[in-house]
Amino acid sequence: MSAVVSLTNVEKSFGAVKVLNGVSFEVARGEVAAVIGQSGSGKSTALRCINALETIEGGQIMVCGHAVHDPKLDKKTLRRDVGIVFQSYNLFPHLTAEQNIMLAPTCVKGIGKTAARDLAREVLARVGLEAKADHYPEQLSGGQQQRVAIARSLAMQPKLMLFDEVTSALDPQLTGEVLKVMEDLARGGMTMILVTHEMAFARKVASKVIYMHQGTVWETGPGAMLDDPKTPELRAFVGSGL
């Protein structure tokens, strides 16, 4: 399996605070990598660097063949290959679910409206929301809005999906809805990196768990490593129930 994502000695600071301190890891095609760790450990920053939402100060990041660390990077081309879903759904309130999804394929890829509408219906069906195509965000639950946000990313047919704590604002039932969609994507072979506090989901679905601590990768392994941590830091983190 070739690496879709490769971080090598990545450094990132905000002012005097070093957030990423020599972060290195790889994610192969078809892998699901769960990035876990305490708040402030650098998880979300690492994810944002992968999609060039943050600029790194040192090291290298290769994503789907793109040299993200290169100042000449074409971000638009990168983001055609990489979808990202955030904790906040960021749906346009004046557009229906279907129209929210159609926007990027028509504007970025130049797809015709009829084809874009068909594509929107297809991805809505994948997240179990085909019947909600004509609903506006305010008519949808938080879990449904998050699933529309996932469908919107899928409509761009990405090679890699990034999820940044997408369930942290949802109650347990709605969290279950969203995690089922992500599990289905994993089963379908989508390469995914997710920052999550859902340890049970990480154990069950992730082919690789990356534990970050104090801005670096502290421990990495399969989901089963959460049952047998090698470091006292991960043992304390898992034992805290986070």
The answer on pLDDT for 110 being more than 90 is: no
Return d(Cα 228, Cα 235) in angstroms, integer. 8
The answer on pLDDT for 242 being more than 70 is: no
The answer on pLDDT for 88 being more than 90 is: no
Total-model pTM: 0.91
Class of domain 3-89+159-239: alpha beta
Which pLDDT belongs to residue 47? 95
Query: pLDDT class for 1, splitting at 50, 70, 90?
Result: low
* Terminal-to-terminal C-alpha distance of the chain: 31
What is the sign, positive or negative, of the torsion defined by CA atoms of 122, 125, 131, 136? negative
The answer on pLDDT for 241 being more than 60 is: no
Mean model confidence pLDDT for the chain: 92
Query: pLDDT class for 44, splitting at 50, 70, 90?
Result: very high
